[in-house]
Structure 1
Amino acid sequence: MADKRDYYEVLGVPKDADDAAIKKAYRQLAKKYHPDMNPGDKEAEIKFKEASEAYAVLSDAEKRRQYDQFGHAAFEGGAGGAGAGGFDFDFGDMGDIFGDLFGGMFGGGGSRRNSNGPRRGADVRVNVRITFDESVRGTTKKIDVTLKDECSSCHGTGAKPGTSPETCSKCGGRGQV
């Protein structure tokens, strides 16, 4: 794939960049080229997808190791790749990234770290198998997620009502059931 740019070059980071530098570079590019910030701009859309693809590989230790060893060929289905042209894309903290980038931008209020509002729950991590073509052109996938409600007995504190911190018998101290 001669037309693909080096992922480190795409993000503007050196090959020995740590995870924090890669994430920071991606956030800057994602904010700059996000389609919502550049409606109808095909060039910005291409750059956003290119940055997202680079981040998907370089932010995952195993994929980064494969990329460093085999380059883009690692994901073409041959040499040490994901096989059959497949490409595992972990959407892990993409919600965190976009929430941090665009949090209150569209009338969503202030910071989501508001102590008066509900506490942020545990991260939901889902591995979704997509083809390389889907990763470049975009796709829509349906993902079923089981949501947990706040415990009605301890109201998310993990302690029995009216007591000093003691494990709630209803939710086991998790604050959610």
Structure 2
Amino acid sequence: MKKIAITLFLIATTLLATSCANYKQSSNIIDEKPSSIIVNSDKKALNISENRIKSSETIKKNTVIEMPISVMAKDTTTTKYVKVDVNSSLEEKLNIIINSISQECFNGLPMNVKVFGKNTAKINLVEYKDSQKSRVSWKDDYLNDSTKEYTINTIVKNIIQDNYNGDWIEKVQLYYNDELIQID
């Protein structure tokens, strides 16, 4: 009886190890909030959340593009990439880029973007409301005489995206609390 139990145990362990080894070799892992998505060889997505596995619809290829943003830290400019869904509206794509720029370059200060016409973006830099006081502000930290030009260049250069081949923005209007920002 012990020999049969040991044999069955070895067979089960071998099958489990073989199936796991084959699965890991043919999968790509994509980190996504709040769970991970694993794509296996037959292009079915398995959503892993709270130790449960659920099948979801097939993932389409090339629906996400990476848009570059330039970030300056410690006098060095680095390029980071923001993932944007190709099928999103132009305003949704711009909001993703604006939010990333805000987090990376401007301590998460709020920015709003509106698209009008076919190719013009209006970006409004907004101060936190009194109930959301912050140590940093657009006016004091990023729109003063010594940093205003850097702020404008950082936002405009990251929004224009010269190398993007799709329908994109050609003009940017930058506002602070609904007043057009101008370089003196």
Query: Is TM (by shorter chain) over 0.5?
Result: no
Structure having the higher strand fraction is 2
Which structure has the highest helix share of the two? 1
TM-score (norm 2): 0.25
